[in-house]
Amino acid sequence: MSYRSLALVPLLTMAMISGAQAGGVFMDADWATAMCSEWNKSKELTTGLAGDDWIENDAGRGYKIIHIYRIKCGPETTVEMELVNQDGKAMCAYGGVVKHPELNYDVDYLMYADDDDWTCMGEGSWGCGAMGAMMTGKLKFEGPKGEAMGVMGPFDAFLVGTGQVPGDKENCP
């Protein structure tokens, strides 16, 4: 191996590490774990969903569930976020594979969309906010719609948060 080839090894190694840190597949279990961390960094989500009794509406279980998936990949690739009231804040306690397959649509949410619409919502583009996404059908949604309508600001923050966590949209989980 030449001196020039050896000099490239650190650069190639850095590129591989950067690529690995950039994220895996969009909306896979690892992505959901990272999305959970992103949720917990967002004041709009952690405090914005605590004050309106949103996090308290949990059917007495002590948690709410959000299931999300990409239409292209199908419902069998659904990931889950478990949200709890922790010290008066709406915190994400878990993100990953589905642990709670049965949702209570009085308190829990199922959201799915195609990749172009997830991208638009994740960028916070005009017409892709929570209200617009729901009204135009870009975001397919099941759950307590009245409750969701009452927390549009945090809901927008959640949708934009999906764009903050990197992930490959070419492949399915």
Q: Domain holding 46: CATH number?
A: 3.30.1050.10
Cβ(44)–Cβ(151) below 8 Å: no
Global confidence as pTM: 0.85
**Which domain does 67 fall in, by range?**
26-164
Q: What is the pLDDT of residue 7?
A: 44
Query: How does strand 109-113 pair with strand 64-70?
Result: parallel
Domain count, the chain: 1
Nearest CA to 58 among 100, 26, 96?
100
pLDDT in tens, 81-108: 999 999 999 999 999 999 999 999 999 9
* Distance in angstroms (rounded) separating the CA atoms of residues 21 and 23: 5
Residue 4 lies in a domain: no
Mean pLDDT across the stretch 147-164?
93
Residue 133 lies in a domain: yes
Residue 48 lies in a domain: yes
pLDDT over threshold 80, residue 2: no
Residue 128 lies in a domain: yes
Q: What is the mean pLDDT of the chain?
A: 88
Residue 172 lies in a domain: no
Residue 131 lies in a domain: yes
